[in-house]
Structure 1
């Protein structure tokens, strides 16, 4: 016989069954969640660098290493092969224009100057001797010409008398011819003596000009040696700092060897070096940002040196503040060469997760989960990168190294 079951009892049994099923399902969910947490990788938010995408402006730059150098620097070299006689300055000291730095042994130059002076004296004596000789010959010839002129006058008188007597038959034709020949002989001798004076004048003048030319050559040589003598007194070419000095007294010095270097104070530029991979992107006039610590100085590329050495190209940067107190000779700085400017674009802080330009897989954090997303990366200035597509303003991206998760599509970010 069937027993009637109260509706309340049925409701209680159904309630217990539903609760049991719910408990089982909850247990299964918790178990699955626990297994998922145990198996799925996660990162601690404090262990990674997360940047927020934000709008802004960026300048695409090429990074280079630089060294501060003086705008004006002059090298002083030895004019001759000699030795250091005496040192008057110290390396690193400030010097004034014309200040004596060191003395070079000048004995060989002094001997050369004495020899040239002796040769000059010889040429002067030769010029004087030639002048006196010309004058003496001129006087001798002038005296001879005076005598010949008297003889010519006498023969002409005799010829005139013979011509008169010949008409009267007082002299023979032979005597008249002799008188005529004597006149012609005296005329020829007189002309020859006058021509000899002109010839002697030309020859002597030519010898004198040769002596004067040799004298001029010797004077130029003397001037050159005197300039070399002055250069043995090594002096500062301008006011600045003595940045190099051959300070060993008695040391041998070759011709043209560097003995001192003076650099201008408080006026600097930057010599930058970078890979020749970027050579085509470089040009004069590009804007440059020079950084050292927290100091940032603006400038522009003055010139790109044409020679490439060991895969490195060099360029010179003129600064807008070349007298800045931070600048020191040989100070190493970071140089950022601006190749492109962009306004009103999306940016994120730069980090190891980014590698150049173009599409890249970056983890974007949404709802506590970092999901691998393809972002199109554009310009970079070493501190920020441009995000062309793949993320929106306000979203967060992991910018630290995530190479260990490269095979994962998502990673939990534990707060």
Structure 2
């Protein structure tokens, strides 16, 4: 005969079964959680950089490296091939306009000047000799002409007498013809002498003009040599700083070789260099931010140099404060060229996670889990990037390098 089980016992057995099932489910859940913890990657929040998306303004910039250079700088070169005779200045010193910096050996120029002066004296003597010779010939021919004129008068008188006597039969026809020929001969001689005076004058004047032309050429050459002689006294073209000097006395220098460089003091601009990849985006008049440490100076692109060397384009930047105390010759600075500006846009701090413009996979953090999300990245100024779409203000994103998680859709962020 079966014994009826008490309801209390049945209830107790059900509670034990329910507890056993609950314990089993808890064990399975704990096991699954442990396996998930072991398999799913995680990152410590202290090992990554997390930025909060905010609203603000941004200027899209192109970054370049720059070097501070003087606005006005002049190079002084050697006018001839010579050597350094004496140095009067020191590199780095401040100089005044026309201050003597160094002397070049000028002996060859001095010899050339002496030779030219001798040649000029010869030409002057030649001009004087030609003038005297012409005057002497003129006087000789003038005297001969005066005598011929007397002879002509005498022959004409004689011819007139013979013509009268011939009518009376006092002279022969032969004597009359001889008298006529003597008149003609004297007239021809007189004309020839007068032509000789004009011909001699023209020839002598031509020789004198040639000598004067040669003298003028020599005077120009002398002026050039005297100018070269003055240039062997190397002087500062303006007041400034001596930033380069060939200070080795006795050193040989070639024609056109640099011997000194003077730069203007406390008036600077910037020469920037960057990849020619950005050449199309550059143009004169673009605004520029020049940074050195915590100092930021406003500027403007003055010109983009047309020549590209080794994949690098250069441009010159004028500064709003060219006399700023931080500026020094050859000081290296960061140059940010502003190509566009935007207001009231979503921004995030810049970091290795961002790579240029366009759609990019960025990890957005929600509830301790960073999930890969496609964000559309816009402008960048080197410190912040523009978020065009894919996130909202207040969202947090990992901006440090996440390349090792590029194949994961999500990563746990351990606090």
Give the TM bin, normalised by the shorter chain: over 0.9
Aligned to 2:216: 216
Once the two structures are superposed, the pairs formed by residues 187-206 of structure 1 within 5 Å of their partners are 187-206=187-206
Aligned to 2:339: 339
CA deviation vs aligned residue, 1:325-352 (integer Å, no higher than 9, x gap) = 1111111111122223333322111100
CA deviation vs aligned residue, 1:320-376 (integer Å, no higher than 9, x gap) = 222111111111111122223333322111100011111111000112211000111
Distance in 2, Cα, partners of 1:413 & 1:393: 20
Once the two structures are superposed, the pairs formed by residues 206-355 of structure 1 within 5 Å of their partners are 206-355=206-355
Establish whether residue 99 from structure 1 lines up as the match of residue 99 from structure 2.
Answer: yes
Q: CA deviation at 1:36?
A: 2.7
Distance in 2, Cα, partners of 1:9 & 1:93: 109
Normalising by structure 1, report the TM-score.
0.94
Establish whether residue 360 from structure 1 lines up as the match of residue 360 from structure 2.
Answer: yes
Aligned to 1:146: 146
Aligned to 2:170: 170
Q: CA deviation at 1:33?
A: 3.0
Distance in 2, Cα, partners of 1:287 & 1:184: 99
Aligned to 2:128: 128
Once the two structures are superposed, the pairs formed by residues 28-177 of structure 1 within 5 Å of their partners are 28-177=28-177
Distance in 2, Cα, partners of 1:407 & 1:114: 87
In structure 1, the residue corresponding to 2:223 is in which secondary structure?
Answer: helix
Tell me, which stretches of 5 or more residues in structure 1 are unaligned? none
CA deviation vs aligned residue, 1:250-309 (integer Å, no higher than 9, x gap) = 111111111111111111111111222222222222222211111112222222222222
Distance in 1, Cα, partners of 2:40 & 2:120: 102
In structure 2, the residue corresponding to 1:204 is in which secondary structure?
Answer: helix
Q: CA deviation at 1:166?
A: 2.3
Q: Count residues with an aligned counterpart.
A: 414
Distance in 1, Cα, partners of 2:178 & 2:323: 104
Aligned to 1:386: 386
Q: CA deviation at 1:45?
A: 1.7
Distance in 2, Cα, partners of 1:86 & 1:4: 128
Distance in 1, Cα, partners of 2:52 & 2:181: 130
Q: CA deviation at 1:24?
A: 4.4
Give the alignment's Cα RMSD to 1 decimal. Answer: 1.9
Distance in 2, Cα, partners of 1:345 & 1:137: 102
Distance in 2, Cα, partners of 1:388 & 1:248: 63
Distance in 2, Cα, partners of 1:248 & 1:104: 11
In structure 2, the residue corresponding to 1:174 is in which secondary structure?
Answer: helix
Larger deviation: 173-182 or 255-264? 173-182
CA deviation vs aligned residue, 1:225-249 (integer Å, no higher than 9, x gap) = 1111111111011111111111111
In structure 1, the residue corresponding to 2:238 is in which secondary structure?
Answer: coil
Normalising by structure 2, report the TM-score.
0.94
CA deviation vs aligned residue, 1:183-230 (integer Å, no higher than 9, x gap) = 111111111111111111111111111111111111111111111111
Larger deviation: 309-318 or 366-375? 309-318
In structure 1, the residue corresponding to 2:250 is in which secondary structure?
Answer: coil
Distance in 2, Cα, partners of 1:62 & 1:403: 25
Larger deviation: 369-378 or 178-187? 178-187
CA deviation vs aligned residue, 1:7-66 (integer Å, no higher than 9, x gap) = x77666656655554454444434433433333222222221111112222222222111
